[in-house]
Structure 1
Amino acid sequence: MTQRQTTSRTGRVEPLRLGLRLSGSRRGVRLARRLAVQQFTEWTGLPHHSDAAYAVALVTDELAANAVAHGTVPGRDFRLTLLLPTEGVLRVEVTDTRPERGLVHPVNAAATPDAESGRGLLLVAVYSARWGYACRDALTKTVWAEIAYR
């Protein structure tokens, strides 16, 4: 599972990257969270119990859980992609199969105090340096978050 930086033909160093398809289930969400933290700690050398690893776990869990709950067609998987584009930033991307279901910014959809859900993207916004989403084709939507560490 270890990925290494590679040098392109132009001499440019490509970022570390890992991409996986996971089942659109609670088990897939749990596996995404564990794999993201494991890969993050392997790439950065930071411990599993660091604040940065906690942020990676929380953000990955929220993005993957949203993909499973709102973004997948039954029987379809979601894709987790991890990128280390520069020192000090990890980018987590989760791609689902429902591009017609855009995101509502958490400020515009604040949950009531007694609501049992509706705060996931607010947590993503708090723990991420930047986040957003893009529909790159007619069949998928990618939600991404960049987590600063160190």
Structure 2
Amino acid sequence: KLQDNKQIVKIQVLPPNAWKSSKDDDDTSTESGGEEQQTPMLHRAFQVEVLEGTTLTDVAKFGTGKGASTLGEYIECACSGIMACSTCHVVIGSEEWFTKVGEPCEAEQDMLDLAYFPQPHSRLGCQIVITKDMEGLLIQIPASANNLMDFVPFQD
């Protein structure tokens, strides 16, 4: 599908309830080093249509394609996408996808350090620009977000 010479890319999003805790009765989950490991329940994922060249946060805030409004319910984007918060924190679904998406720059990593329960494959949605080769990308939305924008002392 093309729109303005740009392809529509379909990605899969796992909302927080799509991950089963190791505390649930499921032998496929394990505990490692005291940290909770989670197993995805892929049947709970929803599809999002993204116009290539668009960031995840722009889709969440302004997208009109399939799944965009649902994504917007999960991603807050408190700083409007300027990498000044971590409310658009997502986790890339696998090492293979993380390689395609790319590692965060140092400034992004600094914000990810403040995110809710950051993972090795964490990224900020405002820094992920969707490309054609990300068709089928799998991302997880964390169970919560740390919104440090609420604590910024603004002067009148």
- TM tier, shorter chain? under 0.3
Q: TM-score, normalised by structure 2?
A: 0.25
Using the size of structure 1 for normalisation, the TM-score is 0.26
Select the structure with the greater relative contact order (CA < 8 A; seq sep ≥ 6): 2
